[in-house]
Amino acid sequence: MPFGRPGGQMYGPHAHCVRCPPGGRNVPFGRPGGHVINLLGLDAAGLAALFANLGEKPFRGKQVSHWVHQRLVGDVEAMTDLSRALRAKLAAVAAVRGPVVVSDTTAADGTRKWLLDVGAGNAVEMVYIPEDDRGTLCISSQAGCALDCAFCSTGKQGFSRNLTTAEIVGQLWHANRALLADGISAPWVDQGRAPITNVVLMGMGEPLANYDSVVSALGTFLDDNAYGLSRRRVTLSTSGLVPAIDRLREACPVALAISLHAGNDPLRDRLVPINRKYPLAQLLAACLRYLDRAPRDFVTFEYVMLDGVNDTTDHAHELAALVRDIPCKFNLIPWNPFPGAAFRTSPRARILAFQKVLMDRGFVTTVRKTRGDDIDAACGQLAGRVQDRTKRHIRMRVAAAATTAH
């Protein structure tokens, strides 16, 4: 049980601790010289428990949540409607620690990418995609990924570790702060809303393989005392961890995107190995169950277009037949190449023919837009050890997010 949960104890892995190494450590909370809690990692229940443990009223949790997530302060001292004594008490056990930024690059079209150091030579990325009516942030949930999809460079890197709740929430916190600090101009910001209006979990990692931290972070994204995003403005993309889809449906049903990529099991087994454990019939049944509680009345199917592998009109017909009973939309993603991969990107004409079959069968089908292309060049300037973890990943993430986050 994470620290600070109701019924939890004061001793536990400090997943949110700003001083503990990744993975946490068992150190008594608040002991002199002990460890400090990162406030970014505490959801509403966690903050309430923190203040209960400090012998303070629960509303202090909401007050601090406003400071951290709405006023975006990075220092307990700045929380000026807390008494000096309470600030001192809080600062003795907790702090706000945002991500360590390795690089921050803006493309000609306004797409902005941050590379974040998460320790031990690992880095993850997040991407801001500005549009006329919204600002979308694409965030990461893991350093690397264990699921090893055949066409994915993150999968090829292997798994390093789960991000903590603080590291996931810290991405949204930092993006909002940085955009405001740089004087972002957007109509909703002029009306007093935060720069980021939509979040997509489509960066590095499989969010449902880091379930607890992701769901806790989602809680903070949706909490009216924190970011107050509506569930339809938060999209989680998964390769298809069926039991976790069912858990998410009960715990926090945000908008769902499924990385489908194939219309039959043998092909999907090859492309998305988790399909061997949760084959298409199970996955699609989970989608239908999810739709009972989903904030939108459709799921988005992502489909990466691989030349000669899954991109013929026969494949499109097969796919349409497979999902005929599922309220859904398709997002076709031209595959983004990386060295050593045994795939090619489908020619444009084939992607459009594939799209036409799906459209003719009544499915809304978008082809990803390319955003922020020119910052890929800047990625080439990054330090080698982080370059491979990020460079190739960026184009498709930006593209997928741009077409999914409505």
- Which phi and psi angles does 196 have, rounded to 5°? -90, 115
125 vs 206, beta carbon nearer ligand SF4: 206
What does 396 interact with, of ligand SF4, ligand SAH, none (CB < 5 to 8 A by kind)? ligand SAH
Q: What's the burial of 369, exposed, middle or buried (CB within 10 Å: 0-12/13-18/19+)?
A: middle
Q: Choosing from 145, 152, 328, 379, which is the catalytic residue?
A: 379
Residue 148 engages ligand SF4 in binding (rule: CB under 6 A)? yes
| Closest to 49 in 3D by CA, of 16, 97, 82, 96 | 16
Per the annotation, the verdict on 252 as an active-site residue is no
Give the up-direction half-sphere exposure of residue 134: CA atoms within 13 A in the CB hemisphere. Answer: 17
181 vs 342, beta carbon nearer ligand SF4: 342
Residue 145 engages ligand SF4 in binding (rule: CB under 6 A)? yes
16 vs 156, beta carbon nearer ligand SF4: 156
* Residue among 136, 198, 238, 403 that touches ligand SAH (CB under 6 A): 238
C-alpha to C-alpha distances, 316 to 253, 299, 367, nearest whole angstrom: 29, 18, 14
Residue 151 engages ligand SAH in binding (rule: CB under 6 A)? yes
As a whole number of angstroms, the distance between CA 182 and CA 166 comes to 23
Q: Are strands 135-138 and 198-201 parallel, antiparallel or unpaired?
A: parallel
C-alpha to C-alpha distances, 393 to 151, 154, 200, 243, 369, nearest whole angstrom: 11, 7, 15, 27, 15
* Interactions with ligand SAH, residue window 204-223 (CB under 6 A): 206
Q: Choosing from 125, 167, 206, 302, which is the catalytic residue?
A: 125
- Which phi and psi angles does 311 have, rounded to 5°? -120, 15
CB atoms within 10 A of CB 338: 17
* Residue among 38, 103, 140, 154 that touches ligand SF4 (CB under 6 A): 154
CA geometry: angle 50, 15, 165, nearest 5 deg: 85
> Terminal CA-to-CA distance of the chain, rounded, Å?
35
- Minimum Å gap between C-beta 157 and ligand SAH is 11
216 vs 259, beta carbon nearer ligand SF4: 259
Contacts of 176 (CB under 8 A, 6+ apart): 72, 194, 195, 196
Per the annotation, the verdict on 131 as an active-site residue is no
What does 331 interact with, of ligand SF4, ligand SAH, none (CB < 5 to 8 A by kind)? none
- Binding flags for ligand SAH, 311-340, as an x/- string (CB under 6 A): ----------------------x-xx----
- Tokens linked to 372: 């922020």
How far does Cα 277 stand from its chain's mean position? 23
* Interactions with ligand SF4, residue window 174-233 (CB under 6 A): 205-206
Residue 37 engages ligand SF4 in binding (rule: CB under 6 A)? no
As a whole number of angstroms, the distance between CA 230 and CA 186 comes to 19
48 vs 147, beta carbon nearer ligand SF4: 147
- Binding flags for ligand SAH, 251-280, as an x/- string (CB under 6 A): --------x---------------------
43 vs 302, beta carbon nearer ligand SAH: 302
- Minimum Å gap between C-beta 294 and ligand SAH is 16
List the catalytic residues: 125, 379
Q: Which residues bind ligand SF4 (CB under 6 A)?
A: 145, 147-149, 152, 154-155, 205-206, 239, 259
Q: Which residues bind ligand SAH (CB under 6 A)?
A: 149, 151-153, 202, 206, 237-239, 259, 302, 304, 333, 335-336, 396, 400
